[in-house]
Amino acid sequence: MLALIIDDSRAMRRILRRIIEPLGFSVIEAEHGQDGLNQLAQHSHNVDLILVDWNMPVMDGLTFVQTLRANKGVPRIATVMVTTETEPAQMARALMAGVDEFVMKPFTAEVLIEKLQLIGVAIGNPIC
């Protein structure tokens, strides 16, 4: 299984990587939405999970998801937004754009894994 982590914070990418690698994911990283689209194309969209930040330079997470979902040639990849955005209206916009789940920063490994299980991309829980 392959996961794409998109966040402009290197520290956050490292935190996310350390949580999902034990679940059996290989990880590729991107620094912003455009970088994420490029990485997906490079991997022929053979990615099983996308974790995407909202606030990033160049292309933000919402624009990334909108662009991704608008491209009908791309299979539907499970997408979780990991964000400090908590405004219900903003969250509704992201859900309408095609985000499957939200994780609020700061978060615990347990919360992230629970969300992944909810959308069916993580079966076991190596922490339990």
Tell me which residues touch Mg ion (CB under 5 A).
8, 53, 55-56
For tokens 């939405």, name the residue: 33
Nearer to Mg ion, 51 or 56 (CB): 56
Closest to Mg ion by CB, 69 vs 105, is 105
Query: What is d(CA 9, CA 53) in angstroms, rounded to the nearest whole number?
Result: 9
Indicate the helix (H) or strand (E) that contains 52: strand 49-52
Give the residue with the Cβ less far from Mg ion, 29 or 122: 29
The CB-of-84 to Mg ion minimum distance in angstroms stands at 8
- Minimum Å distance from CB 83 to Mg ion? 8
State how far the Cα of 52 lies from the Cα of 89, in Å rounded to an integer.
18
Nearest-approach distance from CB 92 to Mg ion, in angstroms:
20
